[in-house]
Amino acid sequence: MLGLLAKWLPICCSIRSDFKFSEILAKISHTLENHDQWQEYFLWEENTDFNNEIAFEFEDWSNKYNADGVSFSIARQYVCFERFKLKLTCIRHAESLTAEFYYDPEIIDSESVPYWAELWQTLVASAVTNPEAKVSELEILSQRDRQKLLFEFNQTQTDYPLDKFIHELFAEQVAKTPSNLAVVFENEELTYTELNCRANQLAHYLKNLGVKPEVLVGIYLERSPLIIITLLAILKAGGAYLPLDPAFPAAALALRLQDAKAKVLLTQQQLISNLPELSSKIVCLDSDREIIDRESKENLYCEVKPENLVYTIYTSGSTGKPKGVAIEHQQLLNYFYAIKTKLNLLPGSNYALVSTLAADLGNTVIFPSLCSGGCLHIISSETASDPQALTDYFERYPIDCLKIVPSHLKALLTSQHPGKILPRQQLILGGEATSWDLIDRIQQIAPECKILNHYGPTEATIGVTTFEVKKGVNRNKSATVPIGKAIANTQIYILDSQEQPVPIGVPGELHIGGAGLARGYLNQPELTAKKFINNPLVGTNSRSPLLYKTGDLARYLPALKDTASHNGNIEFLGRIDNQVKIRGFRIELGEIETVLSQHPGVEQVVATVSKDESGNRRLIGYVVPKRSPIPSISDLRKFSLSKLPEYAVPSTFILLKSLPLTSNGKIDRQALPAPDSNRPKLEAVYVAPRTPVEAKLVEIWQELLNLEKVGVQDNFFELGGHSLLITQLLVRIQDIC
């Protein structure tokens, strides 16, 4: 008989972290004995997908054979029929064990296999030496690998001065460039001297109100130079600022102000009616202008320490209650010096601020601009969402540095003149994952523009890693643009569930240590202790006593043969929990579910995120209503808007009779129905287009919203629209005008 008389059999094995290696070995031996009884009946082709299989085989060639006085043994066996993507063969000889890896080069990089072999060898040696050790205790990393992951990739130590604070660095810049423009907003301009004088007057006024170190002052203002004036004034008075977005509903404002116990709230007369009843001292900067202008224009001195609070920013909370992240001066200073070095822009450069102050995204441009003689252009939310208006503004005021969320930029680049929206020197992308398609588009339009991909949670002070996207960078190993390496005085560790480092290329939870770590969450010691953990790696070259558990899934990218630029670079892979990023805003799906469950007509609710045909992410709320009365889509949206910021309100609501469940009774999110193209049931009665103009507008709405029918009286947002779609809507309308 000719042929190889062998059959591959799948082996089921449960490997828990608390199992001993000897126990696993015994279980597998028992399983193999049982397989002998049914191996003839297993049909491989009917049960296996060859494209996803990894094989292991063990052969014992230690025996010697004798025939007619000749002694021989098997030296090599060639098999060519396997269709596995990876196979590990172990052959036992008389005095040794040989391991060989076979792999499909179209699926697996040849550079990766030697590294895997080294990991496997370390693991085997650890198991042989410690057979009674638990799986979680076995070593898979060699000392050389641990040295690289824990030390070499985190060689970021840099000395920065901490004796001068942001407001003092700004004052020094005023002395250097007193007549230079510091802030521009539409037709309003302030020189460094003018900005400093107005900030000083307000700072003296705030100091008289009791503002001092560790005192929080709320900023509740529309975008204008007043925002920068108040920010500097609060710091000059020794206090810390709490930014609040005017788009927040009254309930969200009240929750933040009550939790933060802000002593003073700075606002404008036109916003007073939006405020809930507060214990804070309310100062209207427009109606109280005459009183504030009587104060001294001279710089004032206030004793501030590096460990004092500089600002608090609230982020979404899974329990329905947002959490305030407390940042100190020393953390902000470390970020300022680190990002200033990365940007490497000349004094006098023009910076554009297009984001809300209520998130820390814009701090990347605010502080480097004010402390290096730059000119900060504050872009109104209306202009920032209108491609033509933004193009016109950037034509009048050419911008050198812009930081923006990728999805926001993607929407803006659909304009007729996308090249005019991109900065002349430095583009910083942050707030969410960046696609390679967007990079291709940017480099096609503005090949000379330097692109920096920036990553970092609010809890680690704005940003902790950067990746410069150079032309021709190898992108085969990364699905999205890498987030790069740690900035100065920052340590990044990718750990498994046992809080031990994972090998290069293996996903794990990203942990952050170093000078940028926040003080913690304001008034939430238990949550702080849960997320800011004692560093389990202390004593293994780590200099940070605490690590922040980001909840982000990431991996170190394998090094490439033709370039060393990927050594130590990190790829963001997603989340390990229900937190999401929508248009740069961090949202806990649990917060949305908690708020919507408070609606009297809602029985159950699940919030998820999906991608539409253009790749934009949108929030979906699945609602099981109570029997009576059944809430309308309009009602659910209005209720959400009364308690949540606009960006956290689902763009689509789907009413269900019941939520799908898994076999163990949990909600099956994978089985939730996708949004269809039918017009949702709205309060507005459907009215068909009556004129050619209405017909054309309806056609545009239907394409953008992926709906088969739209009425001329329908609400864009109730149909599933959001702010970025408004940007695309304006472009489409301008194209036909």
Delineate the domains of the chain, giving CATH numbers in brackets.
21-142 (no CATH), 143-162+329-577 (3.40.50.12780), 584-721 (3.30.300.30)
Q: What is the mean pLDDT of residues 210-226?
A: 95
What pLDDT is recorded for position 563?
45
Burial class (CB in 10 A: 0-12, 13-18, 19+), 365: buried
Phi, psi of 271 (to 5 degrees): -100, -5
Question: Which two tokens mark 608?
Answer: 């998820």
What pLDDT is recorded for position 542?
55
Question: How does residue 47 score in pLDDT terms, banded at 50, 70 and 90?
Answer: low
pLDDT reading at 472 higher than 80: no
Residue 148 C-beta-side C-alpha neighbours within 13 Å: 13
Q: What is the mean pLDDT of residues 559-568?
A: 56
Place of tokens 């049931």: 681
What pLDDT is recorded for position 341?
93
pLDDT reading at 564 higher than 50: no
Q: What is the mean pLDDT of residues 491-509?
A: 92
What pLDDT is recorded for position 455?
95
pLDDT reading at 540 higher than 70: no
What's the CA gap between 490 and 148, in Å, rounded?
Answer: 15
> What residue spans of 578-691 are helical by DSSP H?
589-596, 633-641
Question: How does residue 421 score in pLDDT terms, banded at 50, 70 and 90?
Answer: very high
Q: Taking a C-beta distance cutoff of 8 angstroms, is the pair 608, 592 a contact?
A: no
Question: How does residue 40 score in pLDDT terms, banded at 50, 70 and 90?
Answer: confident
Question: How does residue 44 score in pLDDT terms, banded at 50, 70 and 90?
Answer: low
Q: What is the mean pLDDT of residues 532-557?
A: 83
Least confident of 37-41, 286-290, 546-550, 610-614: 610-614
Q: Taking a C-beta distance cutoff of 8 angstroms, is the pair 225, 250 a contact?
A: no
Between 192 and 151, the higher pLDDT residue: 192
What pLDDT is recorded for position 663?
60
Least confident of 267-271, 304-308, 545-549, 608-612: 608-612
Sign of CA pseudo-dihedral 652, 656, 662, 665: positive
> What residue spans of 95-176 are helical by DSSP H?
112-129, 143-150, 166-176
Q: Taking a C-beta distance cutoff of 8 angstroms, is the pair 189, 211 a contact?
A: no
Of the chain, the percentage scoring pLDDT greater than 70 comes to 92
pLDDT reading at 4 higher than 70: no
Q: What is the mean pLDDT of residues 249-262?
A: 89
pLDDT reading at 105 higher than 80: yes
Q: What is the mean pLDDT of residues 92-106?
A: 86
Between 238 and 602, the higher pLDDT residue: 238
> What residue spans of 532-660 are helical by DSSP H?
589-596, 633-641
Q: What is the mean pLDDT of residues 200-220?
A: 95
Residues whose CB is less than 8 angstroms from the CB of residue 664 and which lie 6 or more positions away in sequence, other chains included: none
What pLDDT is recorded for position 677?
63
pLDDT reading at 565 higher than 50: no
Nearest to 258 by CA among 240, 246, 244, 237: 244
Question: How does residue 50 score in pLDDT terms, banded at 50, 70 and 90?
Answer: low
Question: How does residue 539 score in pLDDT terms, banded at 50, 70 and 90?
Answer: low
pLDDT reading at 710 higher than 60: yes
What's the CA gap between 634 and 717, in Å, rounded?
Answer: 9
What DSSP state is assigned to residue 89?
E
Burial class (CB in 10 A: 0-12, 13-18, 19+), 396: exposed
What pLDDT is recorded for position 307?
95
| Torsion angle defined by CA atoms of residues 317, 322, 324 and 325, in that order, rounded to the nearest 10 degrees | 30
Burial class (CB in 10 A: 0-12, 13-18, 19+), 681: exposed
pLDDT reading at 632 higher than 80: yes
pLDDT reading at 649 higher than 70: yes
Phi, psi of 223 (to 5 degrees): -65, 125
What pLDDT is recorded for position 439?
93
Question: How far is residue 180 CA from its own chain's centroid?
Answer: 36
Average pLDDT of the chain is 86
Question: How far is residue 703 CA from its own chain's centroid?
Answer: 29
Q: What is the mean pLDDT of residues 364-386?
A: 94
What DSSP state is assigned to residue 528?
H
pLDDT reading at 639 higher than 80: yes
Q: What is the mean pLDDT of residues 218-234?
A: 96
Q: What is the mean pLDDT of residues 556-581?
A: 74
Paired strand residues for 264: 217, 281
What pLDDT is recorded for position 318?
67
Number of neighbours of residue 557 by Cβ within 10 angstroms:
20
Q: Taking a C-beta distance cutoff of 8 angstroms, is the pair 634, 655 a contact?
A: no
What pLDDT is recorded for position 111?
77
Q: What is the mean pLDDT of residues 211-233?
A: 96
Of the chain, the percentage scoring pLDDT greater than 90 comes to 44
Phi, psi of 684 (to 5 degrees): -70, 135
pLDDT reading at 543 higher than 70: no
Least confident of 217-231, 377-391, 483-497, 720-734: 720-734
654-663: per-residue pLDDT in tens? 888 888 876 6
In which order are the strands placed within the sheet that holds 264-267?
A: 281-284, 264-267, 216-220, 240-244, 309-315, 323-328, 520-521
Residues whose CB is less than 8 angstroms from the CB of residue 215 and which lie 6 or more positions away in sequence, other chains included: 238, 239, 240, 263, 264
